[in-house]
Every structure is written in structure tokens, then in C-alpha cells.
Structure 1
Amino acid sequence: MLTPTGWGVAVAGAVLTALGYVLGYREAAALGIAGLLAVAVAVVWTLPRPRLEATRRIAPRKVARGEYAEGVVTLANAGTRTRRGLRATDVCGGEALSLAVPVLRPGGAYDARYPLPTARRGRIAVGPLGLERTDPLGLSRRTVAYGEADAFVVRPKVCVLPVLPSGTAHHMEGPTSDTADDGSLTFHVLREYVLGDDLRRVHWRSSARTGTLMVRQMVDVSLPHTTLVLDTRPVAYGRDDDFELAVDCAASIGHAAARSNFPVELRGAGGLLLRADGSGQDAEALLDRLALVTGSAERSAAAAFDGLENHRGGGSLIVVTGTGDTEGLAALGRVRRRFDRVTLLRVGGDAQAPGVREVASDVPQLPIDSLNALVANWRWEAVR
């Protein structure tokens, strides 16, 4: 509870008091006692807990990286005494924000407004509010926590992009693959009944002719699938800002598909991160998931492509990586033929880094050094 000044006065007072009595210097002893009494009064001054109520509001609760978010703390004096000399400290993302509090009369309230840090993605913890009270001489200090801790989410920055067209997904005459999604829009083929099939789809005439129960396989051919691979290895990027830009790129591409209620599969260097089936809340869920993505410890990006050999076929595969280490990206070669369209984004200042062309020489590569470059290159890719 004692400040450095308070400790200094207490030590000096004790020394002066002892020397004064031992050496017979009454003046020194009196000065030492006065110092000790001042410290004691300061401690008593700051000991009572002020009767205050603290409430916090954060707006907005979810914000894109770099956009403005504000915290508002309302302090109300619920006691019967006027409170002076108070100073509030709120902790936001590990950083302490100091807030000056004016004189609070009984029943009075004060709104402290301050900007919240939004430079980095993530779930940012806020609070609890610490209220600091000091004595007039600055010898003693007491900090008491008021209110509860809170948090807000900083999401990736998103730009508006079109969805890449992929041949099979938009072919309204029907799919060319038996692995297309089961649906109800278009007849594809007759096949043998398996346990669990809807009996309303049984084709009785064909069943009678073949002697085997046959059902209609219906498919939905209107939904383009997007498989998005984000390289989350820090060694793949030259700078931390390049990784943040890569997450923004992945968020923009995935959000473009999800907001149109198209299926999206998001994968990181370690494997699956999110699978969205095209429901109405997928765009929000995608941004929330990418807000929490951090650098992974994998040395290779190969695990991101595990399982894609059994992909349903068709749709688009977009790989977002940096201009650094390319370990494991050669796995793209073994899965690329499962997709109608494959695109590789190279995020960073050196988009022609050595070794990139050897990874996927026949895959279009888009150099990205900003979100503006993403918009321009992506729109060109969409009409290619």
C-alpha cells in the first residue's frame, strides 16, 4: 500500500527515531516520529473502500482490425461522502489505460470514455477496473477492483470480392461427378437403394424391371464449393504484418462465399479449422474463427492438404501463403486435380521468392502486398 515515497519516509522516520533516542537528539527523534505518524495517517486515509459502482459498455462488441471501438466506464458514487483524489486504471489487452476521475459527490456519476486497441486480431480482454486512491501527500496508495472483466473481438479486415466461378458447380444441366452434394434440385442418376435412403425417391418402374430396388439420386448443382487453405506457419511469412494480411485475404475470400450461402471449408497448416454448409450464419462464424487464428508450430504445410484426396470433386481451392518457407506446399500437386479451379496467393513484398515456381508451376499465382492488390488481382482472376 505504501508508495516509494511512503517507504522512504517510513524508513527515514524509523532511523531518525532510533538515532534520536540512542544519541539523545530529541529533535531528530521528534522528526522521525512525525514522519512515522504521517505514514500511519496516510495508510488510514486510503484504507476505507469507497462505495462506488462501476459499469462498462463496449461498442461495438465485434470490430474489424484497425476500426474504431470504444469503452465507456460509468462510475457512480453510492456513498454519502464526496470522493476526491481518485484515479482509475483499466487493463485492455495487457495494456494499462489510466483514466482521471473528477470529484464525485454523493449520487453523482462520471462517464470515462477511451478508445480500445484494435491493431491486432483476437479476443481482447478488458478489465476489471482498478480504482486507485492516494493520500494528499502521496505516501500511501490503495487500488480496488470494481466491476467485472469483459472482452471484445477484433476480426480480420475484409474487402468485397466476387466468388470465383467453378465449372461443375454452375453447370445447370447436372454434375459430372457422382460425388456431388446430395440435394433435391436436379436428377442425376438411378442407383441401388442403400439403407437410409428416402423411400419417396424409389423409382418403382426401374425397380420392377431390374429386380433391384432403385432410387433417384438428386443433386444440387447450383452451389459453388470453396476450399480455403491458410498457411498458418510463421516461417512462411517475412513479417508479422504479412501474416495479418494473409488472414485478411482468407477472410475476404471466405466471407465472399459464405455471405452468399455457399459452402466453405477452411483449413490451416495443422488441418481443418471450420466447415460451413451454406447456412445464414456462416459468414459471421468464419470471421469469428479467423479472429482467433494464431501462428502454428507445424514445420510443414502438408497436413493442410490431408484428406483432400477424397474431396467430393469440383469447386475452387484457394491457398493463401507467404513468400517465405514453402515446406509442404508441394502437396498441392497431389490434390489439385480434384478441383475445377486452383489459385495460389503469395502474400508479402517478395511475391517471386525462390522456390515458389517449383511448388506449383501450373497453378495461377497472385502476388498480394495489400488488400487493394487483392481486390485488383482477384477480380482479374474471376473473369479469366
Structure 2
Amino acid sequence: MITRAGWGLAAASALVYAAGAPLGYGQAAVLAVTGLAAVGAGALWTLRGARLEVRREVTPVKVARGEPAVAVLHVRNAGRWRHSGLVARDTCRDTTVTVDVPSLARRSARTVSYRLPTRRRGRTQVGPLLLDRGDPFGLARRSIAYGRADVLLVRPRTVPLTPLHSGRRRHLDGLASRSAPAGASSFNGLREYVIGDELRHVHWRSTARTGTLMVKELTDVNLPDTVVVLDTRASSYEGDDAFELAVDVAASAACAVARDRFPVRVLTGDGELLHAKGGPGEDEEVLDRLTLVERSDRAEPPRHALRQAGAGGALVLVSGDHAALADAAALRRRFDQVLFVRVGAPAADGGPRAAGVTVIEAADLGELAAAWPR
């Protein structure tokens, strides 16, 4: 492909010939032919076959928003001739990253690396990779695509938070409730055996020490069950940055629970996004799901999501609109603890308050961590 410089030289050569030939200037013809010959030679230079082995790696493939992600490019010259003037062009969403590849002698290899943009959250396609080969004078260029596109997952940022504890009655091991999930039992003490007790609950060590058949007394433990509701209405936020902060807040609250192996549900204006039940690695799934969340004009207000939340446990509602506090306040009696996080610049009057609801104004994640209940 002829570059702008090549077309410019070709046009200038034609103009020189058109202006000088009628006047009998032989030098004009020589200059015109030389210019056109240079453009033709550049085109032939780029058409020459290049045996290149190209491989690109993206590391890491999952990164928090704003953290560095790097593409490592390996280029090997498998041909018999030196190759120079190589330029690699990689695309990452709407951004094109350009990097010069050093000259490659025959049978030699080069490795170059470059940063990928990670400011925007989402599932980002990296590539396809284009390798441009140009002539020494920049008059012609040939682009060849290598390999396939890779996927970079730019996930929400998080800060360490303490899970919100729910429940109304404590025992030796923590919170207790009749509404505890099946199987969430914990040791609460010893007592003498009575007819009807299961033999699998006999504490044989205490029995041998006391000479009396002793059994373990178990109490159901109410695991800190948390519901995180993210307001995804476009009208609730002043811009993209405010919504990205809201996603970061929701991710931080949900991951704090999931990392401690406790149940958490994440709801948005489009319905339930995730129901983690306290298994290993579910905090990673929380981040992966929230990576793909977008705000929308068709999203339902938080009160619709709260209707699916059931009752009990802790509620965290994240929004950029002060009016969403009314939705949390209307259901505060259904939860043991209710937290409303409003993202964005703080209101001049401190914003509205509601009885039974803890309100946090967060302009960034640092303010969230400082105001989070402990």
C-alpha cells in the first residue's frame, strides 16, 4: 500500500514533469522519473516475502481497572534476509497501540512489550495484531495480520472491607438463628446422653474421662447472609466515572463476604446477577460477573430488585441517586442491617437520612473503606 508520503512524491513528480516538459527542461523529466521509480521501488520492497514468526502474549488476562496489563510480542525472522522498518499495531477497544520492532537479522528473534489501556472496565478484545513492513523511505507499507485476538478482562477495583454481620442471637461460635441454612451447625457444648440422641454425636474423649456417656450439643449458626443491590439506571449517575465507582463499591462489598466463604447475592436493575453460596473461589466469580455490568435507561429502580431479596441478613444498596435511600428505608425491617452507599460528590447539606439505615457518602474507594462499619 502506498503511504501518504508515497502519493505525495508521485503527485509532485507528475507536477514537475507537467510544468517543465513544455518548456523544454530535460531535468524535469529526470526528476519525475526518479520520483516515480522511488515509489515503485518502495512498493516492490514491501511485496517481498517476509518469513516471520510472530506470537503475542497478554499478561495478566484478568486485571483490576487502572492496574497495568502488558502485551509481550515475540518476533522471529525465519528467512535469509535482514528485515527492518517493522511496526506492530495492536488494538484494544477503541485504542491503537503502536510499537517499533527492532531490525531483525537472519535467524534472529526480538521481544518487545507494551502497555495496554485498562482505564475502562469490561471484556476487552486485544487484536488482531498487525505487523506493518515499510520501505526505508516510508513510501510504501504492507500490513499483515498475525495470530488471533486475545481477551483481556478489566475487572472492578476493590478495597478490603469487613463483612456485615447479621443475626440477633449469639452463642459460643458466633451468630445463631433458626433460619440458618441446613448443615450450618457448630459445636456449642457437652451434655449427658439421653435416649434418642444420635450415637454419631457422642464425644468419646469426654466419655472416657468422666465415665459418663457425653454427647456434643450443636447449635445452628446463622451465616452472615448479605444482599448487594447495584442501581444500574443511567439517570442515577452523573457520568461514566460515577457509575464505575458504584460498580467498584458493589464489588468490594460482595467480595468481602465471598472471600470469607459466606453467602452473598448480587442484584442489579436487570435482575439477579449472582448468588454465591459460600464456596471457594466465588469472589473471583463476583468480579467476573460485575465486569460485564452496564448502566441502562431500561434498568428497573432498586425497589424492584429488593422485592427479590427475601428477608434477613444484611442489605447493601449502592446508587448515585439520593432518592434510592427511600427504597432501602421502606424495607429496613426485613433485614438485620441496612447500608446505603451513595457515590459521587457529597451533598452540601449532608444528604437525606433514614431511621434504621446507615448512610455512607463515598467519592472514592478510600472514603468507602474509612466509613465502612467495623
| TMscore range, shorter length | 0.7 to 0.9
Structure 2 residue 94 is the aligned partner of structure 1 residue 94: yes
Structure 2 residue 373 is the aligned partner of structure 1 residue 375: no
Q: State the partner residue of 1:139.
A: 139
Query: Partners of 1:70 and 1:134 in 2: how far apart?
Result: 26
What TM-score does the superposition give when structure 2 sets the normalisation length?
Answer: 0.81
Query: Partners of 2:74 and 2:306 in 1: how far apart?
Result: 50
Query: Partners of 2:31 and 2:42 in 1: how far apart?
Result: 17
State the 1:353 CA deviation: 6.4
Q: State the partner residue of 2:341.
A: 345
Structure 2 residue 255 is the aligned partner of structure 1 residue 255: yes
Q: State the partner residue of 2:71.
A: 71
Query: Partners of 1:24 and 1:118 in 2: how far apart?
Result: 62
Deviations 1:76-133 (A, max 9, x none): 1111111112122222332222212211011111110122222232223222222112
Q: State the partner residue of 1:164.
A: 164
Q: State the partner residue of 1:117.
A: 117
2:184 and 2:221 in contact (8 A); partners too: no
Task: State how 1:138-287 maps to structure 2 within 5 Å.
Answer: 138-168=138-168, 175-177=177-179, 181-183=181-183, 185=185, 221-287=221-287
2:167 and 2:177 in contact (8 A); partners too: no
Q: Among the aligned pairs, what percent are the same residue?
A: 44
State the 1:62 CA deviation: 1.5
Query: Partners of 1:126 and 1:345 in 2: how far apart?
Result: 34
Tell me, which stretches of 5 or more residues in structure 2 are unaligned?
187-217
1:301 and 1:329 in contact (8 A); partners too: no
Relative to 1, partners in 2 of residues 1:353 and 1:288: Cα closer, same or farther, differing over 3 Å?
A: farther
Please state whether the residue corresponding to 1:346 is helix, strand or coil. Answer: strand
Relative to 1, partners in 2 of residues 1:352 and 1:332: Cα closer, same or farther, differing over 3 Å?
A: farther
Query: Partners of 2:356 and 2:350 in 1: how far apart?
Result: 16
Query: Partners of 1:71 and 1:26 in 2: how far apart?
Result: 54
Please state whether the residue corresponding to 1:107 is helix, strand or coil. Answer: coil
Query: Partners of 2:175 and 2:349 in 1: how far apart?
Result: 43
Q: State the partner residue of 2:318.
A: 320
Q: State the partner residue of 2:215.
A: none
Which stretch of structure 1 is more off in the superposition, 290-299 or 269-278? 290-299
Relative to 1, partners in 2 of residues 1:376 and 1:325: Cα closer, same or farther, differing over 3 Å?
A: closer
Query: Partners of 2:25 and 2:247 in 1: how far apart?
Result: 73
Q: State the partner residue of 2:308.
A: 307
Deviations 1:310-350 (A, max 9, x none): x1x3110111112x463x65333443322111111122221
2:168 and 2:175 in contact (8 A); partners too: no
Query: Partners of 1:266 and 1:336 in 2: how far apart?
Result: 18
Relative to 1, partners in 2 of residues 1:77 and 1:330: Cα closer, same or farther, differing over 3 Å?
A: same
State the 1:290 CA deviation: 1.6
2:124 and 2:152 in contact (8 A); partners too: yes
Please state whether the residue corresponding to 1:88 is helix, strand or coil. Answer: strand
Deviations 1:202-235 (A, max 9, x none): xxxxxxxxxxxxxxxx995332211001122343
- AA matched with 2:68: Y
2:322 and 2:352 in contact (8 A); partners too: no
Query: Partners of 1:46 and 1:296 in 2: how far apart?
Result: 48
Deviations 1:238-290 (A, max 9, x none): 34333222222211111111011111100112321111111112111001112
- AA matched with 1:314: G
Q: State the partner residue of 1:198.
A: none
Q: State the partner residue of 2:37.
A: 37
What TM-score does the superposition give when structure 1 sets the normalisation length?
Answer: 0.79
1:169 and 1:221 in contact (8 A); partners too: no
Relative to 1, partners in 2 of residues 1:352 and 1:315: Cα closer, same or farther, differing over 3 Å?
A: farther
- AA matched with 1:343: L
Relative to 1, partners in 2 of residues 1:220 and 1:2: Cα closer, same or farther, differing over 3 Å?
A: farther
Tell me, which stretches of 5 or more residues in structure 1 are unaligned?
187-217
Please state whether the residue corresponding to 1:251 is helix, strand or coil. Answer: helix
1:266 and 1:275 in contact (8 A); partners too: yes
Q: State the partner residue of 2:11.
A: 11
1:183 and 1:219 in contact (8 A); partners too: no
Q: State the partner residue of 1:201.
A: none
1:81 and 1:106 in contact (8 A); partners too: yes
Taking only aligned residues, the RMSD between alpha carbons, in angstroms, comes to 2.9
